[in-house]
């Protein structure tokens, strides 16, 4: 009969056996992980550069965690990701920290860092620095950018220069309220804004980089206009539209007060839209991205706009990113994660030549047709394919777009040429409600309307 081993000696024998077993297990695990790591492609700064250039920001965030980078490059890419996630203050800290070193080692990184900083300076109310930084980019690093990008930066430099010395935008008052909304003859959502004792209905437009008003509106409120003028591109046509700038000292939306609102001021005719047999419609004002972002989270439901500091998590959500002052929405199409401009001021969706390059088989049996796109500055005629149907997946939500025009060439407007298209009311109307959350940078679709 064998007796169980007891006592200190037996305990040490068992302990030695356990240690040998766990040492062998640890060795095997280390070998396995090393083999697995060797099988993974090594991610370099060059790989991340391509993702930045292609505006594939979801992939950039993922690959940044795994990439083998120098300390300077890691801070640089971290700053770029912070900017695209709408954290301008964090982006400024990171990019300013490495800018002097980048100037010595990488013209490409310097160019992107400076352009990013210029946008972040504007978002934080440092308008003169924003203008000067664009000047730096255009003078020393213009070769790093396309013609459309250089035009966009030139316009921004000139506009922001007119605002030099203006006070930065601030908000006060309530951060949670509900107000009525209405639809105008163009199909746009309009919100009531209060300036002084006067209430007006202005278009809610995430696609407007800055808020805009007509010259008549500026005169009606006694606003001071910039002495010099500049111009900006129409996102639809790419045409340059002359403007001046002004600052609205106080604009109320619901219970929130937005102080020092920058506005672009154009002739009334630039905002006078031809409705064909239904006459014309005069737009008086547009509430653009800087004001909307300051509100936090916006939910459109029926005839109401609900403003909250942030939205609740939902499986029917998709990520938002920011390209300077343009919100981008991530959507999945046929297993491809793509970024589109999110433009509540546009009635229909349109896709870019980049989409055509991503899915050439979808167009094998189609022929391009003449297609006109209208906007501030008139109508631009191009050639486009008519895609009969596209399913966009936003988390677990799905929207089906019908008869989507897909242009065969770049429009010449940055950043829209660099993403896969522009999404407007034809997407948003498919849901009973939707939320655009600039605090958490996500879009949430309510129940499908049909």
Do 174 and 285 fall within a single domain? yes
Per-residue confidence (pLDDT) for residue 240, from 0 to 100: 82
Rounded CA separation 46/54 (Å): 12
Per-residue confidence (pLDDT) for residue 377, from 0 to 100: 54
Q: Which helix (H) or strand (E) holds 129?
A: helix 127-140
Per-residue confidence (pLDDT) for residue 413, from 0 to 100: 83
Within a domain: 24: yes
- Residues of the chain with confidence (pLDDT) below 50: 1-15, 18, 31-39
Do 26 and 78 fall within a single domain? no
Distances (CA, A) of 421 to 331, 357, 405: 11, 12, 10
Per-residue confidence (pLDDT) for residue 412, from 0 to 100: 81
Within a domain: 161: no
Rounded CA separation 401/81 (Å): 30
List the beta bridge partners of residue 261: 248
Tokens 């959502």: give the residue: 189
Per-residue confidence (pLDDT) for residue 33, from 0 to 100: 43
Q: Which of 330, 326, 350, 347 lies closest to 338, judged by CA?
A: 330
List the beta bridge partners of residue 421: 351
Q: Which of 309, 325, 300 lies closest to 211, judged by CA?
A: 325
Token pair in block for residue 440: 């958490």
Q: Are 115 and 99 in contact (CB under 8 A)?
A: no
Per-residue confidence (pLDDT) for residue 366, from 0 to 100: 93
Rounded CA separation 421/413 (Å): 12
Domain span at residue 81? 45-145
Do 113 and 98 fall within a single domain? yes
Buried b or exposed e, range 172-210, using 16+ CB within 10 angstroms: eeebeeeeebeeeeeebbbbbbebeeeebbbbbbbbbbb
Q: Are 24 and 52 in contact (CB under 8 A)?
A: no
Within a domain: 159: no
The structure's pTM equals 0.88
List of residues 6+ apart from 97 with CB closer than 8 A:
75
Per-residue confidence (pLDDT) for residue 15, from 0 to 100: 44
Rounded CA separation 163/336 (Å): 41
Q: Which of 386, 293, 306 lies closest to 342, judged by CA?
A: 293
Within a domain: 150: no
Per-residue confidence (pLDDT) for residue 382, from 0 to 100: 86
Q: Between β-strands 336-342 and 421-423, what pairing exists: parallel, antiparallel or unpaired?
A: parallel
Per-residue confidence (pLDDT) for residue 415, from 0 to 100: 85
Do 320 and 384 fall within a single domain? yes
Burial class (CB in 10 A: 0-12, 13-18, 19+), 32: exposed
Do 73 and 186 fall within a single domain? no
* H-only helix segments in 40-87: 45-53, 57-66, 71-84
DSSP structural state of residue 188: -
Within a domain: 58: yes
Distances (CA, A) of 411 to 151, 201, 373, 384: 13, 31, 10, 11
Do 339 and 267 fall within a single domain? no
Do 380 and 357 fall within a single domain? yes
373: phi then psi, degrees, rounded to nearest 5 = -120, 130
List of residues 6+ apart from 177 with CB closer than 8 A:
254, 255, 256, 306, 307
Helix (H, G, I), strand (E, B) or coil at 201: strand
What is Dmax (Cα atoms) for the chain? 108
pLDDT per position as a tens digit, 67-77: 999 999 999 99
Tokens 């010099």: give the residue: 228
pLDDT per position as a tens digit, 380-398: 788 999 999 999 999 999 9
Q: Are 81 and 59 in contact (CB under 8 A)?
A: no
Do 92 and 78 fall within a single domain? yes
CATH of the domain at 437: 2.40.70.10
Within a domain: 450: no
Q: What's the total number of domains in the chain?
A: 4
Rounded CA separation 358/390 (Å): 14
Helix (H, G, I), strand (E, B) or coil at 114: helix
Do 174 and 292 fall within a single domain? yes
Single out the residue in 307, 332, 356 at which a domain terminates: 307
Single out the residue in 94, 111, 145 at which a domain terminates: 145
CATH of the domain at 61: 1.25.40
Single out the residue in 277, 307, 337 at which a domain terminates: 307
Within a domain: 163: no
Rounded CA separation 125/165 (Å): 9
Within a domain: 290: yes
Per-residue confidence (pLDDT) for residue 371, from 0 to 100: 84
The radius of gyration of the chain's CA atoms, rounded to the nearest angstrom, is: 26
Rounded CA separation 237/381 (Å): 9
List of residues 6+ apart from 13 with CB closer than 8 A:
5
Helix (H, G, I), strand (E, B) or coil at 208: coil
């Amino acid at each position: 009969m064998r007796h169980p081993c007891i006592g200190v000696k037996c305990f040490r024998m068992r302990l030695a056996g356990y240690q040998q077993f766990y040492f062998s297990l640890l060795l095997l695990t280390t070998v396995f992980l090393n083999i697995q790591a060797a099988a993974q492609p090594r991610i370099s700064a060059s790989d991340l550069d391509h993702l930045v250039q292609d505006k594939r920001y979801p992939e950039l965030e993922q690959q940044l965690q795994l990439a083998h980078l120098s300390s300077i490059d890691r801070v640089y890419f971290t700053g770029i990701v912070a900017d695209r996630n709408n954290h301008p203050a964090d982006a400024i800290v990171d990019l300013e920290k490495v800018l002097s070193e980048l100037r010595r080692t990488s013209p490409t990184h310097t160019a992107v860092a400076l352009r990013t900083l210029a946008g972040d300076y504007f978002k934080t109310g440092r308008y003169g620095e924003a203008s000067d930084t664009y000047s730096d980019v255009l003078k020393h690093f213009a070769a790093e950018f396309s013609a459309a990008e250089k035009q966009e930066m030139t316009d921004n430099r000139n506009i922001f220069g007119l605002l030099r010395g203006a006070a930065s935008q601030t908000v006060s008052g309530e951060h949670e309220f509900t107000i009525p909304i209405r639809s105008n003859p163009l199909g746009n959502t309009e919100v009531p804004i209060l300036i002084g004792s006067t209430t007006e209905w202005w278009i809610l437009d995430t696609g407007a980089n800055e808020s805009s008003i007509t010259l008549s509106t500026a005169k009606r409120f006694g606003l001071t206009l910039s002495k010099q003028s500049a111009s900006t591109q129409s996102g639809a046509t790419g045409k340059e539209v002359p403007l001046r700038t002004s600052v609205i000292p106080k604009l109320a939306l619901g219970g929130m007060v937005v102080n020092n609102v920058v506005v672009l001021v154009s002739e009334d005719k630039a905002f006078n839209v031809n409705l064909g047999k239904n006459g014309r419609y005069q737009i008086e004002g547009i509430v653009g991205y800087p004001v909307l972002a300051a509100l936090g989270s916006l939910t459109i439901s029926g005839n109401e706009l609900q403003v909250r500091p942030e939205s609740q998590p939902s499986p029917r959500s998709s990520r938002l990113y920011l390209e300077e002052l343009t919100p981008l929405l991530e959507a999945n199409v046929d297993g491809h994660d793509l970024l589109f401009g999110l433009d509540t001021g546009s009635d229909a969706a349109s896709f870019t030549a980049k989409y055509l390059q991503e899915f050439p088989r979808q167009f094998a049996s189609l022929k391009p047709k003449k297609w006109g796109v209208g906007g501030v500055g008139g109508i631009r005629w191009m050639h486009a394919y008519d895609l009969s149907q596209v399913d966009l997946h936003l988390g677990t939500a799905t929207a089906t777009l019908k008869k989507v025009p897909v242009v065969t060439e770049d429009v010449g407007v940055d950043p829209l040429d660099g993403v896969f298209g522009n999404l407007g009311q034809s997407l948003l109307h498919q849901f009973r409600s939707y939320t655009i959350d600039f605090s958490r940078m996500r879009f949430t679709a309510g129940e499908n309307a049909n």
